[in-house]
Amino acid sequence: MDNEELVQNMLLELRRGILSLAVLSQLSKEQYGYSLLKALSDQGMEIDQSTLYPLLRRLESQGLLQSDWRIVDEARPRRYYVISAQGKAVLTKLKREWSAMTATMTQMLS
């Protein structure tokens, strides 16, 4: 495996790790799958639909999100996700840990 491929693989692993945290952070207001995808991408996090949608489902089954089929603005029915109370608590904890981790990493990588 050459370097470029190796770098891409390791980046993939890194991104996979932080995906859930990223998603949780964007769902304080309800979104549907595609709008969330755009929101993440606008902020620099590119992600596949086929990765995002199953992830949303998983987070919901873990109790961190709530979902609802809704008709908004006379559009067709869509599934809207929003962070749950438990999700908010978990997110707070994760944010704290994240700050600590990035501080450590920044130091290690400098």
Partner 1 sequence: MNLIDRYIDEVGRHLPEKERSDIEAEIRSMIEDMLEERGQQSKSADEKIIAETLEELGDPKLLAYKYSPAKRYLIGPDWYDLYLTTLKRVLSTALPIVAMVAFVLVFANDPLDFGRAIERALGSLFNVGTGILFWVTVAFVIVEHSGADVKEMGVSKSKAWTVAQLPKTPAKRQISVSEVLTNIVFYSLFVAWIVLPPFTAWLRGDESFIPVFHPDLWNVWFPIFAVIAILTLIIEIFKLKIGNWTTALTVSNVLLCLGTIIAIVVLITTQEVFNPAFLATILQNAPTEELRNVATTAKWTVNIGAAITIGICIWDMLDSIIKSRRLVK
In the bound complex, what is the minimum distance in angstroms from residue 68's beta carbon to partner 1? 13
Q: Is the CB of 77 or the CB of 103 nearer to partner 1?
A: 77
In the bound complex, what is the minimum distance in angstroms from residue 92's beta carbon to partner 1? 26
Tokens of 30: 């309800």
Distance CA(68)–CA(72), nearest Å, equals: 11
Tokens of 13: 């692993």
Contacts with partner 1 by CB under 8 A lie at 32-34, 49-51, 53-54, 57, 69, 76-79
Q: Is the CB of 47 or the CB of 98 nearer to partner 1?
A: 47
Q: Is the CB of 57 or the CB of 98 nearer to partner 1?
A: 57
Angle, helix 49-61 to helix 33-42, in steps of 10 degrees: 110
In the bound complex, what is the minimum distance in angstroms from residue 48's beta carbon to partner 1? 9
Helices (H), the chain: 3-25, 33-42, 49-61, 85-109
